[in-house]
Structure formats: structure tokens, C-alpha cells
Amino acid sequence: MSETKHSRQPFGQYPRIRMRRNRSDDWVRRLTAEQVLTPADFIWPVFVKEGGAAKEPIPSLPGVSRLTVPALVKAAEQAAKLGIPMLSLFPYVPKERKTEDAREAYRKGNVIDKAIRALKKAVPEIGIMSDVALDPYISHGQDGLERGGRILNDETIEVLIKQSLALADAGCDVVGPSDMMDGRIGRIRDALDANGYSHVKIMAYSAKYASNFYGPFREAVGSKSALGRADKRTYQMDPANGDEALREGALDVAEGADMLMVKPGLPYLDVLWRMKQQFGMPTFAYQVSGEYAMIKAAAQNGWLDNDKCVLEALMCFKRAGADGILTYSAIEACTLLQKL
């Protein structure tokens, strides 16, 4: 048997060696498992909206709803009780609040601002992360300002800074720039530090791909129709590229990121693995809306076992090096883990 640089030395040969011995019973499988999944591994992305019904189901994300602030507070209490360390907030913004300059993104009193303040008051023990990007707030659905058909990098960063400072002011613990503008991590870090927010952490969406698996999310935040047939390939990464993710990661580390993220998740486990190996940073994977929807759709058809597939996919992120996973299945997974 040839030994590759990744495989360990084979310690012997069949029949003396029988790999199945350690798989014989549940107790020995548990004893020899290399990874465990716990509630502390999950970051729960939630959608928050202003007014109306407490819960508004999102058809393309079965089991996920947009919540009003009071409903979100209740959900956060449940998450905290289950041991989930952090929520990640996303806004649903009505059309009439979207503008070309995305000024709603940093308006004091916007739905995210209200949500963070309410959560910090009612459930201070849970961490709050919020996305830094303009897409829910901008009339054309891109993550940045646009002029003459181009997404403007440096002008967009100025708005992202305002948004980050507004989030920090509301009490946000972790800002998550998901926009993929060049240089934004360093500029946001400097702005936070200069304004008394040196304690606010940055989780950089370091390797964020121009993925088609974001479809249901764009429906959830109401940016899908705004975006129309446009795509985000001038700033999000090409799915063909792996080395480039390491360059993105290196820049984010140098610019002061506290945590790195790879997104989407399952089709990009190689990127996750490489990032973790390369930088040894706290590294997270985002199991995105399309990945969640695929499991749900197949399960609804009776083609997959939902509960088993949910836990298997999450475990695989751990094996590939994730310190945690952003997943819409966070609550569901905690409940399933309790039943094991």
C-alpha cells in the first residue's frame, strides 16, 4: 500500500488488522469518533422584519420564518437555553425603504438596530452577529453601490463603515462583512477602533463564492426581485478557484479579522479544510439557504431522511475543519442531538 503524505502509516495488514472491530457497537463507535457535534458549534441565522404577523413562513426555506422583533426575542431565548452561542441577523426590508445609496443600512431605528437592542436587553447571554452588506437595503439588490454598471469598491466601503458603526452602537458583538469588497476588513477594523469599539469582533466572509445556492436567502430578505437577472460575479469568487480563497484569507487575517468564514458549505469543504490548515484561525462554514432547502425538499418527497441528513452534513463540516457552522437547522439540530 503506498503511503501518501496525508495518510498515516498503515500499522499492519489484514487479517491481523480488521478495521471493522472498532465499528462493532454503538459504544465503541462513540468512543473512537474523531469529532463531536454540540450546540456550541452552531450559529443560527435568523430573518427579522418590522411589524405584521409574528411569524411569516418563507416558502423556499421550509421551517424558517421571518420574525418580528418580539418573536425573535422569544426565539433567541430558546436558542440560548439550548446552548447555541450566537445568532446571525438578517433584515427583511420592504421595497419602499430600499434606495440607491442604501442609507437604510445605517439608519438608527432600522429593524436590525431595534432587534439588536431588544436582544441585548432580554437575552444578553447570547452572542449577536449581523451581516455587513448593502443588498437588503439597496434598490438594485447588489452588495455595493453601483455607477455605470459597475459596483464601486471604495465608495461602498464608506457605507459599510457607517453600517458597522451603527451595528456596534446598537450592541452587536460580531460584524460579518459579507460584501466581498477589497480592503473592507481593515477599514472597518480601523473605524471600529477609532470609535471606541475595539471589543467588537469581525467574522470575515473571506471566501464567499458567487453561488447559485443563495436563491432562497435572496427571497427571504427580499433582494431577489431587486437583483433580477444580475449576478455578483464581479466581487464574489469564482467557484473554480481554491488558491484564491487562501489569498483572500491571508488579506483578511492581515487586516484584523478575528474569525474567517467559507461560504457556501458542503460543495466547498476543500476550501474550508485549506483555510483551517493554512491559518489556524477560528474558521466557520455557512451551510447556505440552498443547501438547507435541498435537504428539506428531498425529505418532503420521502427521498431522504431529514434528521439523519441534517446531522450528517453538520458533522462533515466539523471533520473538514470548521470550528462552527452557520445553519438554519441550528434549533432542529440541537433537538436531534438531545435525542441521540
The catalytic residue positions are 208, 263
For ligand PBG, the closer CB: 111 or 288 = 288
User: Cell for 33?
Assistant: 469518533
Q: Are 208 and 164 in contact (CB under 8 A)?
A: no
By CB under 6 A, tell whether 104 contacts ligand PBG. Answer: no
Rounded-to-integer distance, Cα 12 and Cα 243, Å: 36
Q: Which of residues 177-216 bind ligand PBG (CB under 6 A)?
A: 178-179, 214
By CB under 6 A, tell whether 143 contacts ligand PBG. Answer: yes
**Residue from 41, 113, 135, 173 in contact with ligand PBG (CB under 6 A):** 135
Q: Which of residues 227-286 bind ligand PBG (CB under 6 A)?
A: 232
Rounded-to-integer distance, Cα 138 and Cα 145, Å: 8
| Packing angle of the helix pair 184-194, 243-255 (nearest 10 deg) | 20
Q: Which of residues 290-329 bind ligand PBG (CB under 6 A)?
A: none
CB of 39 to ligand PBG, least distance (A): 20
For ligand PBG, the closer CB: 170 or 261 = 261
> What are φ and ψ of residue 251, in 5° steps?
-65, -45
By CB under 6 A, tell whether 131 contacts ligand PBG. Answer: yes
By CB under 6 A, tell whether 137 contacts ligand PBG. Answer: no
| CB-nearest residue to ligand PBG | 217
Number of residues that bind ligand PBG (CB under 6 A): 12
Q: Are 74 and 103 in contact (CB under 8 A)?
A: no
**Residue from 64, 89, 112, 133 in contact with ligand PBG (CB under 6 A):** 133
User: Cell for 95?
Assistant: 421595497
User: Cell for 159?
Assistant: 457605507
- In this structure, the chain runs to a length of 340
Q: Is 147 helix (H, G, I), strand (E, B) or coil?
A: strand
Report the interface residues with ligand PBG, using CB under 6 A.
131, 133, 135, 143, 178-179, 214, 217-218, 232, 288-289
